[in-house]
Structure 1
């Protein structure tokens, strides 16, 4: 393909799905616009080629991946005129002529059992078919992102959302287990999250019956190494059981809230060695989910929580809207050891690495281990429920009680009034002293690639720009020196989740204040501390188009890039601009696409002051178009349930805007970009009680 400038079109930095390290041989999803080359799945002597038809009904269109045992095809049901997923259950690599008959019988029973499961959290099986050498199941074709996709994008999820996803997974597993089927490959990649939040367990390609003979592939236990239960590796192991599926659920819950796997390792033996050496992984952000995760990651399968107990405990978590944040402080999220250092935080963190382990000297003692569980599923829940309550109570006591003030906050002045009063004997100063005592260092989320606004020099580990100066000034008002402040690199796409999950205390990252964002991201703003205009950044010398005004960009229907989840993402479409299907996480990526003449991006949409920084850095190739209508007010974001901090930030920002600090910061950082000789009028701070 060629773009309008006559250059070979590459991916142009197009959004590609991050590689799943544990794909189990699944065919990767091609990038948008790229030629799709599919690896042919293993031969099964049956129809395994495109456009072959099974039973004169299901036309195989294209493979959509191969799981642990068997392959999955997108197919067309000629009779009912619909697209379906067709999966072969037999893996010929693990069968011999002597074992083939038994394998076919086992797969046949498995398919029949799966077809009987009717549950909203389990993929629907429409049909079961046998050909000469294969047993096929025909399933509903679901086109939705997986939980792995969400974690690749956000790295961590908030406790309420993780609890909701975990609850639906438990519902699905319970239905599967009641049908005497075991999944055996529970992991984020096999959990689809549909629009509206419905969770569906998929990929039963290596499922088996409870009590069936263990089948291994290439001499090892089947499954994905980081999610395999330790009992599967015991010499006298009876093989997979419902408890081993629930271990994998525990690993998945941990990964959702902690942003990393509980037990690292590149191979199955390494993972299992880490389980033996450190069977109780540190929980920093799980809060009220801690007892659930701890109960699922018990190495003794007989003492592990069952699906019914998990369901009840997760329902308790979701029924307590005030529980997630207070419980999180039981394992101090504000401790310096629970955060990355500034230099480490500035680098993209892999999901496998996660936060550095806390040192015993600075980590508060974890809550007592839950009571030893009995072997009865429902009976043992009482002990775990008591442990969950203990975690919440301990957290409330540790926080001095003032966090209770956030309960019932509907986004109005009640939160601020409660924060000012405090709940520790009505003494706001005492409550703030307790907050400061628990938060030795202030961690602030900021963007690291916006010259003039916020920029991180990785060579010197120095942060600079207007946002950074605002952040330092606020920290000083809160009683922190520069040496007590850590900056944590965030993007437009992940800053809300970084805030909600305790990675940062505040976000100062050209965050446009809108009521919709407060509701959607479940945060609160203080501000504005700056008002920006909207603009477009274009190539200075285009071989195809002369783009001098916004109308030129719209009239020529050239592709405009903006950061995912920015205020411009929907605005561009509403105003008739052409946008690409995939948007990156940062404006820096958009600019990189713009500068890549192989890409189809001809303009970047964002705030004028932000784009002016890029134009100033590369005046030979980039041009800033005149600002358009409207303004983007920048606010300081924080968690909704932190009214005390919000009241302090509000008072501090009011002082900054009233004094000489603000115009001095503007002239130092932004005047070189805007060309102004004097500072503009200061933005009017919105009431913090509104």
Structure 2
């Protein structure tokens, strides 16, 4: 159902056993990882498909040191630096960044062991399709920038962002791979044979300035801008095989022509600002990409067929069935020029270059789009959402016939041998994953209990990390079957996220978390937080994101993906954040983990009912989840789980009244 094996950008088997072993002995690292074959060039030239003898699985193993560029005098320092890099990479946990399982140090090399992923590289997709439509390109770019933000938050720089290092998996998940030449922000500039490390067409111009500090997060964002341009225009913005050629083209023509970019134009222009201080930062670029994806199609696209879905223009490939989308599908743009061809007449200049253009592009974009629509424009290749279906006869017509439900469910289970549940990794008491990968908490116990009612034992349940910001997309993409992640049930969310809720299984109050000791502000109540106008942080797309300002609180311009990031900002004495807004039980977990520095303010009015979220097109699954959760709430399990996981946080000596399950209508 969810295959975790595969190749990071290359083909290969994943059956758990090395295939066709030759007679010659293979290199085995630390007596565990047997190197089988190279898989791609990699930053340092040492990227291997390997077999993990202990866990009987395939992995990707990569060396971080370029041994050809090392001397006996520099080896010790290089080893120390690579060891620090490996440790930093191993701490990055994000769905858009390849997972690092292990780090191994041998006599002359530091290796990182990563998950081996199935998928097609973005370079392969572009080689086949030449261009992608704007919605598809924006979605890929958004996932890449989310991965980069996680990388940069760990003070790591990728340094080789390009289509070959972007993996596009079935279902639409995008994963940033190949950290063979990653480095720390602020580290000394490292060169190979006297040249800058990286791929010439994607290298930022500031890397070649005489007083350059070396790579920075901004140089990774430049590379993303080049990649976005390549996706929608079908060519590189700055041609040249050698570094000097590329840099000369940047100097001579710093504003490459945009023919097919449409509303992506301001994002690309902002990322390709030659002055890094005027370049879009990651947060602004992410916000602009989200707006591209959520903005309504311009009127000309809807006018052609007002009562039905617009028919695809002749230049577009046939749209695949929504049930099994082809994630590689893209529009074939007419007569895409090569990088050597003379540029066509430039479209109207789009606003939005630099940090100030998040919203200013709309009017210009509509003008551009109106001109492009008639000729097979940017909008044509928006892929349908991925995801598994019930795959049971009669489901599309509103559910299996009465009396056949159990038969239909057994068929569903036979086709879905494992149940994958989205959960958060960083909420003590509710859902938490420790350093050894063990999950715990009230949400996790609810998930296991519900899975049992559905006929899945613990060995057949997989947890998948999600955040407040991405859990709806993980359901839509089919990465998970259910989400149990303190997901507040509201009618608005069901419509906005295109999901169904079953629940509630818990009702939380609202509260604020503040620093226990602060030099500038003594905060003892919600009124203090509001009247002193201190900045409040909450997770993006949470119910609090829209409530705080309406209720008179001061918030920052950008909100992170998770409450853990808010807490990290709260604990940072240089941060402007003085409070975190969320559910009382969730914040109580953080306060309980760090009582020396954090305190929980009294709960406010209202409750947040937590529900199990699932896709809208799964009526059979919804019916089984509803009856299963009803069984969990009817017995003693719920009270036992509450006392085990939450009583220490809430201070209750006895469990509260169980929440009343809402009717599961609309099946």
- How far has the Cα of 1:582 moved from its partner? 2.3
Q: Any conservation in 2 of the 1:465–1:669 contact (CA below 8 Å)?
A: yes
Select which of 387, 390, 401 maps to 1:421: 401
Query: In the alignment, what sits opposite 2:174?
Result: none
- How far has the Cα of 1:400 moved from its partner? 3.6
1:404 aligns with 2:384: no
Change (3 A) 1:42 1:641: same
- How far has the Cα of 1:519 moved from its partner? 1.3
Secondary structure at 2:487 match in 1: strand
Q: Any conservation in 1 of the 2:454–2:628 contact (CA below 8 Å)?
A: yes
Select which of 407, 423, 446 maps to 1:446: 423
Distance of 2:624 and 2:343 partners within structure 1:
53
List aligned pairs for 1:627-638, cutoff 5 A: 627-638=603-614
List aligned pairs for 1:638-653, cutoff 5 A: 638-653=614-629
- How far has the Cα of 1:457 moved from its partner? 2.0
- How far has the Cα of 1:42 moved from its partner? 6.8
Distance of 2:636 and 2:647 partners within structure 1:
16
1:527 aligns with 2:503: yes
Q: Any conservation in 1 of the 2:260–2:378 contact (CA below 8 Å)?
A: no
Distance of 1:68 and 1:670 partners within structure 2:
43
Secondary structure at 1:568 match in 2: helix
Query: In the alignment, what sits opposite 1:515?
Result: 491
Query: In the alignment, what sits opposite 2:522?
Result: 546
Query: In the alignment, what sits opposite 1:432?
Result: 409
Distance of 2:224 and 2:555 partners within structure 1:
38
- How far has the Cα of 1:662 moved from its partner? 1.4
- How far has the Cα of 1:476 moved from its partner? 0.7
Query: In the alignment, what sits opposite 1:321?
Result: none
Query: In the alignment, what sits opposite 1:385?
Result: none
Change (3 A) 1:162 1:568: farther
Q: Any conservation in 2 of the 1:564–1:583 contact (CA below 8 Å)?
A: yes
Distance of 1:456 and 1:118 partners within structure 2:
44
Select which of 165, 174, 177 maps to 2:334: 174
List aligned pairs for 1:450-465, cutoff 5 A: 450-459=427-436, 461-465=437-441
Q: Any conservation in 2 of the 1:493–1:585 contact (CA below 8 Å)?
A: yes
Q: Any conservation in 2 of the 1:402–1:431 contact (CA below 8 Å)?
A: no
List aligned pairs for 1:370-409, cutoff 5 A: 399-405=391-397
- How far has the Cα of 1:123 moved from its partner? 4.4
Change (3 A) 1:477 1:92: closer
1:477 aligns with 2:414: no
1:618 aligns with 2:594: yes
Query: In the alignment, what sits opposite 2:585?
Result: 609
- How far has the Cα of 1:199 moved from its partner? 13
Q: Any conservation in 2 of the 1:176–1:182 contact (CA below 8 Å)?
A: no
1:574 aligns with 2:560: no
List aligned pairs for 1:194-273, cutoff 5 A: none
Q: Any conservation in 1 of the 2:287–2:358 contact (CA below 8 Å)?
A: no
Distance of 1:528 and 1:492 partners within structure 2:
17
- How far has the Cα of 1:624 moved from its partner? 0.5
Distance of 2:631 and 2:221 partners within structure 1:
58
- How far has the Cα of 1:453 moved from its partner? 0.9
Distance of 1:493 and 1:630 partners within structure 2:
23
Distance of 1:622 and 1:311 partners within structure 2:
48
Change (3 A) 1:161 1:419: closer
Distance of 1:501 and 1:636 partners within structure 2:
17
Secondary structure at 2:410 match in 1: helix
Note the alpha carbon deviations across 1:16-36, whole angstroms, 9 max, x for none.
845564458xxxxxx9xxxxx
Select which of 658, 668, 689 maps to 2:634: 658
Distance of 2:359 and 2:631 partners within structure 1:
44
Change (3 A) 1:578 1:482: same
Note the alpha carbon deviations across 1:94-134, whole angstroms, 9 max, x for none.
569xxx9xx99xx89x99x959x59846849xxxxxxxxxx
Query: In the alignment, what sits opposite 1:592?
Result: 568
Note the alpha carbon deviations across 1:491-529, whole angstroms, 9 max, x for none.
111111112111111111100011111111111110011
Runs of 5+ unmatched residues, structure 1: 1-12, 25-30, 32-37, 44-61, 71-86, 125-135, 184-189, 202-306, 319-323, 330-394, 406-417
- How far has the Cα of 1:598 moved from its partner? 2.2
- How far has the Cα of 1:41 moved from its partner? 8.2
- How far has the Cα of 1:462 moved from its partner? 2.2
Q: Any conservation in 1 of the 2:429–2:586 contact (CA below 8 Å)?
A: yes
Q: Any conservation in 2 of the 1:165–1:199 contact (CA below 8 Å)?
A: no
Distance of 1:658 and 1:614 partners within structure 2:
30
Q: Any conservation in 2 of the 1:121–1:198 contact (CA below 8 Å)?
A: yes
Q: How many residues align?
A: 400
Q: Any conservation in 2 of the 1:512–1:635 contact (CA below 8 Å)?
A: yes
Secondary structure at 1:560 match in 2: strand
Distance of 1:665 and 1:64 partners within structure 2:
45
Note the alpha carbon deviations across 1:132-162, whole angstroms, 9 max, x for none.
xxxx9xxxx99973699669x99xxx99899
Distance of 1:592 and 1:145 partners within structure 2:
22
Q: Any conservation in 2 of the 1:563–1:583 contact (CA below 8 Å)?
A: yes
TM, length-normalised to structure 2: 0.50
Q: Any conservation in 2 of the 1:41–1:66 contact (CA below 8 Å)?
A: no
Change (3 A) 1:142 1:454: closer
List aligned pairs for 1:99-118, cutoff 5 A: 114=257
Q: Any conservation in 2 of the 1:119–1:175 contact (CA below 8 Å)?
A: no
Q: Any conservation in 1 of the 2:538–2:566 contact (CA below 8 Å)?
A: yes
Q: Any conservation in 1 of the 2:393–2:400 contact (CA below 8 Å)?
A: no
Change (3 A) 1:586 1:200: farther
Distance of 2:243 and 2:587 partners within structure 1:
56
Query: In the alignment, what sits opposite 1:673?
Result: 649
Q: Any conservation in 1 of the 2:337–2:343 contact (CA below 8 Å)?
A: yes
Note the alpha carbon deviations across 1:238-280, whole angstroms, 9 max, x for none.
xxxxxxxxxxxxxxxxxxxxxxxxxxxxxxxxxxxxxxxxxxx
List aligned pairs for 1:325-336, cutoff 5 A: 329=388
Superposition RMSD in Å: 5.3
